[in-house]
Amino acid sequence: MFTGIIEELGTLAAIEQRGEGARLRIHCHTVLSGSFEGASIAVNGVCLTALRLTGDSFDADIAPETMRRTSLGGLAPGARVNLERPVPAEGRLGGHVVQGHVDGTGVLEGLDELGNGNWWLRVRVPAELDRYIVEKGSIAIDGISLTVASIQNRLLGVTIIPHTFQNTSLGAQAPGARVNLETDILAKYVEKLLQKQG
């Protein structure tokens, strides 16, 4: 489990297509501490299994399902990626419960400066995810735990504070970019329980 508090900005060093999947190599430092072959590391919100760890990189395989559901397959070498290790059992839940199981991708529609280092991010969300997003609820965008400020006609709005803007990949994104979305798992459980009762 993750919390959506990004620990490090890594760099995609290479992506190698393998049939309908791929293998990534990520250059980084912080998230390697305490990690081992087979450990989980979230890359732009996608829980991946770390392979071939070195002093400054790790590899990870992307399954065909992950290629279809996320934006990872569309990244090019040199892209900056958000990295997070799983939260330890005794750790603090700084953001919200993030599984690293991306539901789908949204399209970045705008990132507008609000002043004092704050930004307003707008993302068009897929119709099938809209029902799980509520104002003042939580959402993970590219693995970043964020609070929903508005959701109207499938257009999601969130405020990005200076720290988040400076320490994540959001500032490098341009309108039209695909971003990974993971909605709150609690909403999906509630929906399923209500369907069984109804």
CATH 2.40.30.20 fits 8-84, yes or no: yes
Q: Who contacts 90 (Cβ-Cβ below 8 Å, separation ≥6)?
A: none
The answer to whether domain 8-84 and domain 104-197 are alike in fold is yes
Domain boundaries, the chain: 8-84, 104-197
Q: 125 burial class (0-12, 13-18, 19+ CB within 10 angstroms)?
A: buried
- pTM of the predicted model as reported, rounded to 2 decimal places: 0.95
The answer to whether the beta carbons of residues 59 and 67 sit under 8 Å apart is no
CATH for the stretch 104-197: 2.40.30.20
Could you tell me where the DSSP H helices lie in 59-172? 64-69, 127-130, 162-167
Instruction: Name the residues annotated as catalytic.
Output: 2, 40, 47, 49, 63, 101, 147
pLDDT tens for the chain, residues 1 to 198? 999 999 999 999 999 999 999 999 999 999 999 999 999 999 999 999 999 999 999 999 999 999 999 999 999 999 999 999 999 888 888 889 999 999 999 999 999 999 999 999 999 999 999 999 999 999 999 999 999 999 999 999 999 999 999 999 999 999 999 999 999 888 888 888 888 776
Residue 82 token pair? 């958000």
